[in-house]
Amino acid sequence: MVAPSLNLSGQLHRGNDKSLHWISRSESLHKKDMNVSKFKVVVTDHIIRQDGLDLLRAEGGEVVVLRAHSPDEALFEAVEDADGMMARSVTVTARLLELAPKLKVVSRHGVGYENVDLQTCTRLGIAVSISSDANSQSVAEYAFAMMMASAKNIVQSDRAVRANVWARDNSSAVEFHGQTLGIVGLGRIGSRLARLRSGFEMTVLVYDPYATDEAIESCGARRAELDDLLETADFVSLHVPLTEETRHIIGRDELGRMKRSAILVNTARGGLIDESALVDALNEGEIARAAIDVFEEEPLANDHPLTKLDPVICTAHVAGQTQASLVRTSIVAAENILAVLRGDAPEVLVNPEVLENRNRVSWIIDPT
């Protein structure tokens, strides 16, 4: 079996065929003739919605909920006899995994998995899943809202009024009509963002070497190389996973190619942008503004230079969080745990080569 990798759209593919390791729910979930015996799941963050936890309990699970950012010792103790883990912001290290001899699945409450030691999971026979499409609409809407807030100077105007400054000069605001939107990564979120712009008659350029022509055309977009997109777009929005291929995909050279009037939006992963280069680009006027929801190190330091720049909107990695999306994410994360405990593959399996390892899971599906 060829090991999978993530393409720029955030989709899983094997080798050259770019196919998703995606199991339809009709094939893998809720099989009536397969019962899950008593099991224990550790939930690493107390703010995860109850809907998914109730689903686990209804199947006979013992659910242990830890407070977010609990000390390592509390997490180590909790996983000693755990069968599953629902992980949000916690870092799943090799040490943690070695202390959990019964653990069969790490189910990410979200779509990123850079905080999970994937190699160790696979070696031990632990499946790693993500919550696929659960928060895609929320993130796409948030990215568009960030574009709008930045273009219209909404945050700056609010700050001025609160400071008792009635400044009616908003001449630097930008209209969306007729502008060009550049989307880096046309996955579930990028494609939704492309459709959200339809009422503004914007041109959409897409950089994603893995996206099909049909997928790009269905969004009313055009394919472009990254350099061409950066040189042309008035708005650039990032929607790719963080991998070795995409780390600092926007660096000093890329920022230098952008329009001086351009607005850069990142609701994906912090490591996609070289933050030091971004600070310099904003200070030197190489780009006009930025709206950033994710950072290389989180929580963001109080003295981080991006927080000192007026043309920048900073938010606390909240793009994927709405009432509806958090419920969906908790349910999908729980369903993924139940699927693995039944010996089935979750909807999106990050490490499909684990199917060949039966040390911890008695898989009932063909790993090929």
118 burial (CB, 10 Å; 0-12 / 13-18 / 19+) is middle
298 classed as catalytic: yes
- CATH classification at residue 276: 3.40.50.720
257 classed as catalytic: no
The structure tokens listed for 311 are 């043309």
Total domains, the chain:
2
Q: How confident is the model at residue 308 (pLDDT cuts 50, 70, 90)?
A: very high
Q: Distance (Å, rounded) from C-alpha 173 to C-alpha 171? A: 5
Question: For residue 85, what pLDDT is reported?
Answer: 98
Residue tagged active-site, from 114, 245, 298, 356:
298
317 classed as catalytic: yes
Mean per-residue pLDDT for 262-287?
A: 98
Domain assignment present for residue 293? The answer is yes
Residue 151 and residue 286 in one domain: yes
Residue 304 and residue 156 in one domain: yes
Q: Distance (Å, rounded) from C-alpha 101 to C-alpha 124? A: 9
Q: Distance (Å, rounded) from C-alpha 211 to C-alpha 58? A: 40
Q: What is the pLDDT of residues 310-341, one digit of tens each?
A: 999 999 999 999 999 999 999 999 999 999 99
Residue 283 and residue 302 in one domain: yes
Q: 71-89: string of b/e by CB count within 10 Å (b at 16+)?
A: eeeebeebbeebbbbbbbe
Residue 119 and residue 141 in one domain: no
Residue in the block written with tokens 């699927």: 339
pTM tops 0.95:
no
Residue 270 and residue 205 in one domain: yes
Residue 173 and residue 263 in one domain: yes
Residue 75 and residue 224 in one domain: no
Residue in the block written with tokens 């995909």: 249
Is the distance from CB of 186 to CB of 9 less than 8 angstroms?
A: yes
Is the distance from CB of 105 to CB of 346 less than 8 angstroms?
A: yes
Question: What residues make up the domain containing 249?
Answer: 136-314
Mean per-residue pLDDT for 76-98?
A: 97
Residue 183 and residue 196 in one domain: yes
DSSP state of 176: -
Residue tagged active-site, from 109, 239, 269, 328:
269
Domain assignment present for residue 42? The answer is yes
Residue tagged active-site, from 197, 289, 317, 342:
317
